[in-house]
Each structure stands twice: as C-alpha cells, then as structure tokens.
Amino acid sequence: MIKAFIFDLDNTLIDFMTMKRLSCDAAISAMIGAGLNVNKDKAMKELFKLYDTYGLEEKTIFQKFLKKLAKRVDYEILASGIVAYRRVRTGFLEPYPHVGEVLFELKKRGIKLAIVSDAPRLKAWIRLVSMKINHLFDIVITFDDTKEMKPSSVPFKLAFRKLKVKPQECLMVGDRPERDIKGAKKLGMLTCFAKYGNPTAKGSKADYEINDIKELLDIVE
C-alpha cells in the first residue's frame, strides 16, 4: 500500500527548463540592448555551456558569461540581464497542468506528500510558494538539508524518517532516470517516471511512466 508520494520539483511539478530558457533569452536580449556586442544565438549556446559546467543554480553565471564573451564584467550590462531574467522567471513560475488538483486529491486520500529536490533550500521554497502549493507538502528536503544530491540515498532516507514510512510504502515521482529513479529503486521504493518533464529520455526502468500527472490517481487506486 502506498502511504507517501515523494516528488522531485523541477521538471516534475514545474516546467523548469522552459522557464530557464525563457528567462535566459530575456536576459541576453536585455544585455545586448545595454551594449553587449554578441550574436544572440551564439550567446545562448555559450550560456548553457556554462550552465552545463557550473550547474543550473550557479549564482554568478552571468558574471562568468560576460567574462567569457566580453572579457570583462560591465555592471550596467550585468544588471540589465539580471533584472530581465528575474522578471521573466517570476512571471513563469507556474505548475504543470493538473498539479494542484492531483496533490489536493492525494492529500484527501490520506497520502503523505514530500519533496526531495537537488535545488538549494531557498530557491525550492520560493518556487513552491510562487506556485501556491507549498502548504500541500508534509516535508521538503533540499540540497541544503543533506549536502547530497540524488541518486544518493541520504536525502531519501531523511524523507523516510520525517514521514515515518518505510521505503516500500513510498512512490518516487521524477523526471531524471539517472537520479530520481535510480536513487529510489536501490532503496526499494516504487518509482514513476514523469515523461512529460523529460520526453527525450529512454529506458527509465521505472515501475510506471506517465505523460500527465493526473495518471498518478490511477496508480494509487
């Protein structure tokens, strides 16, 4: 019997990569408007190469970006990019379709809900509060709580302790087979691959695959 659902956050409850691309597109356009002499398409490719190197949560990514392309940081250009990025990011923070109603229905059925995310604590909470779903979760585990990223067993084990459930009583829902699914399976959890958040991934090896979060209600039945 499933007593708890553990969710990844980015690209499982929120369309994180679309938000990231739109925010970065706005940032680069603003920097070009402020005087950065660069081809926009090339700039986007270079920015995401830096994200691949330093991680999607890197706080100084635009400073690194300007140093690489312009060889120096012009603070008017930097500020223009940051303001545009934040404006678009804030406006886009919406959950995938049906997320709120599915979480609410699971709560009604007495199922415990948790987040296990690799995101920093404050950023994870900002996303949850912005989407107005923070109150639906019994616990939220972030990178700052364990200093370990999935597929490490440490964040999952902390979730089990706080929820007071056994691994086999939990279903992990995530979009990254190499982290969410692999990490959960090795602990004996049921797993569900959120295919809508990572449609190009193949061979998830999850117990379930869903194209819409509404399908979770069929699984729990």
101 and 181 co-located in one domain: yes
8 and 21 co-located in one domain: no
- Domains identified in the chain, total number: 2
183 and 130 co-located in one domain: yes
51 and 108 co-located in one domain: no
CATH of the domain at 84: 1.10.150.520
Distance CA 26, CA 210 (A): 32
158 and 216 co-located in one domain: yes
Q: Which domain-ending residue is among 69, 92, 115?
A: 92
User: What is the C-alpha end-to-end distance of the chain, expressed in Å?
Assistant: 10
166 and 208 co-located in one domain: yes
Local confidence pLDDT in tens for the 221 residues of the chain: 899 999 999 999 999 988 999 999 999 999 999 999 999 999 999 999 999 999 898 999 999 999 999 999 999 999 999 999 999 988 888 899 999 999 999 999 999 999 999 999 999 999 999 889 999 999 999 999 999 999 999 999 999 999 999 999 999 999 999 999 999 999 999 999 999 999 999 889 999 999 999 999 999 87
28 and 137 co-located in one domain: no
Q: Which domain-ending residue is among 77, 92, 107?
A: 92
195 and 117 co-located in one domain: yes
What is the side-by-side strand order in the sheet with 190-194? 139-141, 112-116, 4-7, 170-174, 190-194, 208-210
Single-letter amino acid, residue 96: Y
**Which pTM does this prediction carry?**
0.86
CATH of the domain at 213: 3.40.50.1000
Give the HSE-up count for residue 74: Cα atoms under 13 Å, Cβ half-sphere: 13
Q: How many C-beta neighbours within 10 Å does residue 210 have?
A: 18
Helix, strand, or coil (residue 94): coil
142 and 116 co-located in one domain: yes
Find, among 76, 131, 72, the residue nearest to 99 by Cα.
131
Domain of 161 in residue numbering reads as 4-14+96-220
From the CA atom positions of the chain, what is the Rg in Å?
Answer: 19
